[in-house]
Structure 1
């Protein structure tokens, strides 16, 4: 079914956001290390921005597929994509999903492209759509971290790695860009600073603006260090408002960095405080200590293999998903209401991180 020396050309389908791609990267690494595969990543525009920093990805195909949260793709585009995939003669397609997603639309795409080996989790019987069907036990029997879920998937075709940490391939030019940009804002990259990241892609994961402001003021007063409020270009107004209300110690850096320079910003930060979004997975890759204000959406997506603290809060009823798999998790795991964490709780967790000592960062960085 596949070449004697393994899967030479593998299509990895992870059509979601940046954080999802980062969490799948140890599984990409397992394929690369085990088979020496050329890894082609099929992902969305949102996911593609991180691909150049994942060392084991050799090629990227970018398309916003209609079965994930993105701009819809018309039939003609999908037909052209299937033909393009067919021309590339992949040996295998590996479809990565969270437990609430169906892999079968992507499996149909791979089937139409004539890819001979098609691997994915599926709750329903896929029949011929998948050659390697892994019945999905999540979330009804267990819930694994997304990294573990993805590694277990590729293990079914013999791919394994001992290097399970997240990693991003940072370029020295990106570090130079960061240093220059911050120097122009009178911020010395050699001195400690805290990053606040309030922006989210979904309203249900928002943490109240007034709490961000109060937290920033308290951090600035207690630790006497710059507070940088980060975000995308679309989040400039939010970040600017929060920074202005915190006061002179805070600066908005939203929308001013390339993704590479932003990775370096997170790498250099003494501490990241963020909602659960792609930024926390960047921080996990750079081993930056963090506090995550974690909306109770998907327990698979906590920071992986790094020093962190999590403060959870309930998703408002009117913003909860209609997906019945997600609703099952909400009703069983998140049945009890949890209020937004207060700024004083964030300060307490910050103190605990400092007391524990920060790997690669000395405690005096905070003092």
Structure 2
């Protein structure tokens, strides 16, 4: 089906069923869709964390949360929830659907969902011939022919239907109330405007993407000794004990793990001179708000480095690179174990 048909699609369903970082890396493509037709409305079908992020993405008009059964993170259930989702999408009378996936994902389950919801235009990358499930099939060249950054992959996808933008930055809008909270929080920690301080984010959803705790401790100690600056540790409630362990015994190390909403985390990162993080959501928030980031980058996949922001991407090259696993299949975790704390501190000093 021709590009011209998309020029009349005003009500578009955008499907990105992954986590926070993946959704943020899709925002330049969402902006391209939004800017290419005035008055266009975008609804994001996404995971729970993606729906939470949507509140801070100005290109998204509405979000629908969906625990898709074809993703590894989904819970077991019967088909009634999926049938209900088809009915819900049908009621929205979408003109078109754009399915955003990484190259290791199959878009066809989402395409079938849209087909059953009677969405007439359906666009996605796909390795195999989708026949009638996609009206606009973009043959997927990854990873056999090349690998693009995840942001570029999605920009290239929407460009095939004429959607482009001059602004390819990630999108995360800090709310005024969250910015005020961050300013108040920093005052309470006696962190004055203009002084150096660092956000440390030691957690990650996947074990394979976590820099070792003992290395984090050494980084925190060395940064404190060299700069005598405040260190603010962030993370989920489940990571609070880890944050406390890393900051223990270090002057001016403060843990806010388990205490922040997503909006507050975004505002804190936007106010920070530097973020040091595993390759997880906060690294991409930093990119979206323009905060320099040291990214401790496990070599699970190649295409998720910080986008258009001053950064240092640290890893130890290994033969088993790009395993795409949530748990290190070799058991040695060498791609991160091999990154010395001294390298991390050196990278931080370069960016501060």
Q: What does residue 333 of structure 1 align with? A: none
- 1:155 alignment partner, one of 152, 159, 162: 159
Of 330, 347, 350, 1:349 maps to: 347
List runs of 5+ in structure 1 lacking aligned partners. 331-335, 355-367
CA contact (8 A) 1:31 1:160 kept: yes
The question of 1:288 aligning with 2:286 is answered no
Shifted more, 339-348 versus 215-224: the winner is 339-348
**In 2: Cα distance, 1:92 partner to 1:275 partner:** 36
Aligned with 2:8 (options 6, 9, 13)? 6
Distance 1:279 1:345, change over 3 A: same
Distance across 2 between alignment mates of 1:27 and 1:320: 27
Moved more, 198-207 or 338-347: 338-347
In angstroms, what is the RMSD of aligned CA positions? 2.3
Q: Structure 1 residue 185: deviation in Å?
A: 4.4
Aligned pairs for 1:188-227 (under 5 A) are 188=192, 191-227=195-231
Corresponding residue for 1:84? 88
- Compute the displacement of 1:350 (Å): 2.2
Post-superposition offset of 1:316? 10
Tell me if the contact between 1:295 and 1:315 (Cα under 8 Å) persists in the aligned partners: no
Unaligned runs of 5+ in 2: none
Greater alpha carbon shift after TM alignment, 19-28 vs 65-74:
65-74
Q: Confirm or deny: 8 A CA contact 1:178 1:257 kept in the other structure.
A: no
Q: CA deviation at 1:249?
A: 2.2
Aligned match of 1:365: none
Residue 353 of structure 1 deviates from its aligned partner by 2.4
1:340 corresponds, among 335, 338, 341, to 338
Report the secondary structure of 2:8's partner residue: coil
Are 2:18 and 1:16 equivalent residues in the alignment?
yes
**CA contact 1:293–1:313 (8 Å) conserved in 2:** no
Distance 2:216 2:282 in 1: 17
Contact 2:21 2:284 in 1 (8 A): yes
Partners of 1:289 and 1:186 in 2: CA distance: 22
Which sits farther off after the overlay, 186-195 or 292-301?
186-195
Q: Distance in 2 between matches of 1:69 and 1:176?
A: 38
TM-score, length-scaled by structure 2: 0.91
Matched, 1:169 2:173: yes
Aligned to 1:121: 125
The alignment covers a number of residue pairs equal to: 342
Partner in structure 1 of residue 35 of structure 2: 33
What per-residue deviation string (whole Å, max 9, x for no partner) do you get for residues 90-137 of structure 1? Answer: 011000000111101101100110100000011111111111111100
Q: Distance in 2 between matches of 1:338 and 1:226?
A: 25
Q: How does 1:129-278 map to 2 (within 5 A)?
A: 129-188=133-192, 191-245=195-249, 247-278=250-281
Deviation at 1:182, TM superposition (A): 3.9
What CA distance in whole angstroms lies between the structure 2 residues aligned with 1:5 and 1:118?
Answer: 14
SS state of the match for residue 295, structure 1?
A: coil
How many Å separate the matches in 1 of 2:190 and 2:319? 40
Structure 2 Cα separation of the partners of residues 203 and 298 of structure 1: 14
TM superposition shift of 1:66: 1.3
CA distance in 2, matches of 1:307, 1:179: 23
Deviation at 1:5, TM superposition (A): 5.2
